[in-house]
């Protein structure tokens, strides 16, 4: 059913193109001189139909669901939904929808059956209405566009205006995405903060996101202090950096100054492979190889090591970050002007001395920027920690403990069926908000450092 409007759209677009082009060609064949090429006349009609009608179809499809839902729910007999929370209301709606699909469980009440019938009817009507609207609008536009065909008509300008508008729209998608992220995160965070005070969230030391099952349940109220969670993120990030920074920096130093050209050309792409491996693969590697290895190593030393230590997760994350640091450092070292290299060498420095006393200090701003971006990446990393780190929040900085991170909590709180009223869902969004803000700040700061440093040498 939903394919029909799209088919109509395609037909109308093609029709518009062909019609106008032929009309323009006729004018030209009759001796008049056209302002624009015939293909532009065709394109004009085609785009005039395509853009508005496509927008109508998409908007309709997007809004149809919630409009119909609202109509069905408001049409229910009075009093049926009194005193029920949004969760229960959604459940009723879901039941009505599945009844209308023919999936009936048990014996639902009559008013639900009636509502389900109404739902099906509304959906069918909506489909026909959409087809009708699409057809009428397309036809109207086709006629209008056809009427404009003439020798003086500036079809090319028309087309270019539409194309320009489309391109501007494409450019603003990025802004819409950012706005979407900020708005959706803020919205849910605000609803979360209605239930959990901001001070508890930001400064609380207990993270146990359970909700009382019954209204009168006193114990285990659910604590939502994020400190242990962000602490876990920090611990794992530090472990990751302890692996990635030395390996990355020394690799970059060797590749930049000491490696023969051919060797450098072979080694660099192989390092990039480390960056291209999907993080779910790293996560599996952590639980398959790294964590057991750490465990048996610890046992051989007589230390009892948990299966999901921060060391395992952080270590694997560090491996993933090595190419980040290495390539940023390499770029930063290469950006130091050759004149400084020459000056140091001319004074009789060895290549190592030139590297450590002149090149590296000069490249530090760029390197720091790269490290900060790696930090941001580590903080936002999800799959490695979901698979290899723990689920229980703990106030510890011991890498041999199991810790949980912000991203792990976001995922575990949202896996499974969620309704949007559940404080667990809202807590996930609040954590997501914090994650977004923190990584944004770090990225802005890092880019500013890198840019300032680049200006100093241009």
Partner 1 sequence: MYDIARTESALEQTDIKISARNVQVFYGDTHAIKDVDVDIEDKTVTAFIGPSGCGKSTFLRCLNRMNDTIDICRVQGDILLDGEDIYDPKVDPVQLRAKVGMVFQKPNPFPKSIYDNIAYGPRIHGLARSKAELDEIVEKSLRRGAIWEEVKDRLDAPGTGLSGGQQQRLCIARAIATEPEVLLMDEPCSALDPIATAQVEELIDELRQSYSVVIVTHSMQQAARVSQKTAFFHLGDLVEFGETGHIFTNPEDPRTESYITGRIG
Partner 2 sequence: MSDITSAPGAPTPKSSTELVAASLKRRHRKEARLKWIGIGAIGVAFLMLAILVGSLVSSGWQAFTQTHVTLEVFVDPEEIPQERLPRGGFDDALGASLGRMLPEADMSQRSVRKSVERILSNGAQFKLRDMVVADPALIGKTISMRVPVSDPYDQLNKNLIDRNTPEQNRRVKDNEIAFFDALKAQGAISKPLNWALFTNADSRFPELAGLKGALAGSFWALLTCFLISFPLGIGAAIYLEEFAPKNKLSDFIEVNINNLAAVPSVVFGLLALAVFIGWFGLPRSAPFVGGLTLALMTMPTIIIATRAALKSVPPSIREAALGLGASKQQVVFQHVLPLAMPGVLTGTIIGLAQALGETAPLLLIGMNAFITSAPSSPFDSATALPTQIFIWADSPERGFVSRTSAAILILLGFLVAMNAVAIYLRQKFEKKW
The window from 127-135, 201-209, 223-231, 358-366 that contacts partner 1 (CB under 8 A) reads 358-366
CB atoms within 10 A of CB 238: 16
- What minimum distance in Å lies between the beta carbon of 282 and partner 2? 8
Distance between CA atoms of 200 and 218, rounded to whole angstroms? Answer: 18
Binding test (CB under 8 A) with partner 1, winner from 26, 55, 125, 350: 350
- What minimum distance in Å lies between the beta carbon of 214 and partner 2? 27
What is the size of the binding site for partner 1 (CB under 8 A)?
A: 19
Per partner kind, with CB cut-offs from 5 to 8 A, the member of partner 1, partner 2, none near residue 236 is none
Binding test (CB under 8 A) with partner 1, winner from 23, 126, 240, 344: 344
Site for partner 1 in 228-267 (CB under 8 A): 261
Per partner kind, with CB cut-offs from 5 to 8 A, the member of partner 2, partner 1, none near residue 381 is partner 2
The answer to whether residue 361 forms part of the interface with partner 1 (CB under 8 A) is yes
- What minimum distance in Å lies between the beta carbon of 304 and partner 2? 22
Per partner kind, with CB cut-offs from 5 to 8 A, the member of partner 1, partner 2, none near residue 347 is partner 1
Would you tell me the crossing angle of helices 423-457 and 155-195 to the nearest 10 degrees?
A: 120
Give yes or no for a contact between 384 and 317, defined as CB atoms under 8 angstroms apart.
yes
Encoding tokens for residue 203?
């400064």
- What minimum distance in Å lies between the beta carbon of 294 and partner 2? 14
In the complex with partner 2, the residue whose CB is nearer, 19 or 429, is 429
In the complex with partner 2, the residue whose CB is nearer, 2 or 217, is 2
Q: b/e per residue, 272-291, with b = 16+ CB within 10 A?
A: eeeeeeebeebbbbbbeebb
| Chain-centroid distance, C-alpha 55 | 24
Q: Which residues contact 4 (CB under 8 A, 6 or more apart)?
A: 127, 131
Per partner kind, with CB cut-offs from 5 to 8 A, the member of partner 1, partner 2, none near residue 97 is none
Distance between CA atoms of 223 and 194, rounded to whole angstroms? Answer: 14
Site for partner 1 in 169-198 (CB under 8 A): none
Give yes or no for a contact between 318 and 239, defined as CB atoms under 8 angstroms apart.
yes
Distance between CA atoms of 415 and 424, rounded to whole angstroms? Answer: 11
Binding test (CB under 8 A) with partner 1, winner from 349, 368, 395, 440: 349
- What minimum distance in Å lies between the beta carbon of 284 and partner 1? 43
Q: Which residues contact 314 (CB under 8 A, 6 or more apart)?
A: 235, 236, 237, 238, 239, 240, 242, 243, 399
Per partner kind, with CB cut-offs from 5 to 8 A, the member of partner 2, partner 1, none near residue 420 is partner 2
Distance between CA atoms of 324 and 319, rounded to whole angstroms? Answer: 10
In the complex with partner 1, the residue whose CB is nearer, 365 or 399, is 365
The answer to whether residue 358 forms part of the interface with partner 1 (CB under 8 A) is yes
Per partner kind, with CB cut-offs from 5 to 8 A, the member of partner 1, partner 2, none near residue 185 is partner 2
- What minimum distance in Å lies between the beta carbon of 268 and partner 1? 18
What ranges make up the beta strands (E) of 206-293?
Answer: 207-208, 223-224
The window from 70-78, 203-211, 355-363, 380-388 that contacts partner 1 (CB under 8 A) reads 355-363
CA contacts within 13 A on the Cβ side of 204: 17
3-state per-residue secondary structure call for 130-171:
HHHHHHHHHHHHHHHHHHCCCCCCCHHHHHHHHHHHHHHHHH
- What minimum distance in Å lies between the beta carbon of 192 and partner 1? 49
CA distances from 246 to 239, 242, 251, 318 (A): 12, 7, 8, 10
Site for partner 1 in 311-340 (CB under 8 A): 337, 339-340
Distance between CA atoms of 162 and 48, rounded to whole angstroms? Answer: 8
- What minimum distance in Å lies between the beta carbon of 211 and partner 2? 19
Indicate the Cα dihedral angle 194, 195, 196, 198, nearest 10°: 0
Encoding tokens for residue 386?
């979901």
- What minimum distance in Å lies between the beta carbon of 358 and partner 1? 6
Per partner kind, with CB cut-offs from 5 to 8 A, the member of partner 2, partner 1, none near residue 6 is none
- What minimum distance in Å lies between the beta carbon of 341 and partner 1? 8
Residues found near partner 1 in the complex (CB under 8 A)? 261, 337, 339-350, 353, 357-358, 361-362
């Amino acid at each position: 059913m939903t394919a029909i409007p799209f088919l109509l759209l395609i037909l109308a677009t093609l029709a518009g193109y062909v019609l106008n082009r032929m009309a323009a060609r006729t004018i030209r064949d009759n001796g008049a001189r056209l302002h624009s090429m015939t293909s532009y006349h065709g394109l004009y009609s085609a785009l005039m139909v395509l853009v508005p009608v496509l927008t109508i179809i998409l908007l309709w499809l997007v809004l149809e669901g919630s409009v119909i839902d609202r109509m069905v729910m408001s049409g229910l007999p009075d009093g049926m939904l009194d005193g029920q929370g949004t969760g229960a209301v959604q459940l009723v709606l879901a039941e009505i929808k599945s009844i209308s699909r023919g999936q009936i469980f048990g014996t639902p009440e009559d008013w639900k059956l009636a509502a389900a019938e109404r739902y099906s009817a509304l959906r069918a009507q909506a489909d026909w209405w959409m087809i009708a609207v699409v057809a009428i609008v397309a036809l109207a536009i086709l006629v209008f566009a056809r009427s404009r065909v003439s020798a003086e008509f500036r079809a090319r300008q028309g087309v270019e205006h539409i194309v320009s508008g489309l391109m501007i729209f494409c450019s603003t998608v990025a802004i819409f995405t950012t706005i979407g992220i900020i708005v959706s995160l803020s919205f849910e965070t605000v609803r979360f903060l209605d239930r959990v005070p901001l001070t508890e969230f930001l400064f609380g030391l207990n993270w146990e996101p359970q909700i009382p099952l019954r209204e009168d349940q006193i114990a285990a109220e659910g604590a939502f202090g994020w400190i242990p969670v962000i602490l876990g993120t920090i611990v794992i990030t530090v472990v990751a950096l302890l692996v990635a920074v030395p390996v990355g920096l020394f690799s970059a130093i060797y590749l930049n100054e000491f490696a023969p050209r051919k060797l450098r050309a072979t080694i660099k792409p192989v390092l990039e492979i480390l960056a291209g491996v999907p993080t779910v693969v790293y996560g599996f590697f952590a639980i398959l190889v790294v964590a057991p290895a750490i465990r048996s190593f610890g046992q051989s030393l007589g230390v009892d090591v948990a299966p999901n230590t921060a060391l395992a997760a952080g270590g694997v994350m560090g491996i993933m970050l090595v190419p980040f640091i290495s390539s940023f450092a390499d770029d930063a070292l290469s950006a130091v002007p050759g004149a400084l290299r020459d000056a140091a060498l001319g004074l009789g420095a060895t290549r190592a001395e030139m590297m450590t006393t002149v090149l590296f200090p000069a490249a530090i701003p760029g390197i720091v920027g790269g490290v900060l971006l790696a930090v941001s990446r580590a903080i936002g990393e999800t799959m490695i920690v979901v698979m290899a780190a723990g689920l229980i929040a703990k106030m510890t900085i011991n890498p041999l403990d199991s810790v949980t991170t912000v991203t792990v909590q976001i995922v575990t709180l949202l896996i499974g069926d969620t309704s949007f009223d559940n404080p667990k869902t809202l807590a996930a969004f609040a954590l997501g908000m914090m994650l977004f803000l923190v990584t944004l700040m770090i990225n802005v700061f890092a880019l500013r450092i890198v840019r300032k440093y680049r200006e100093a040498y241009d």
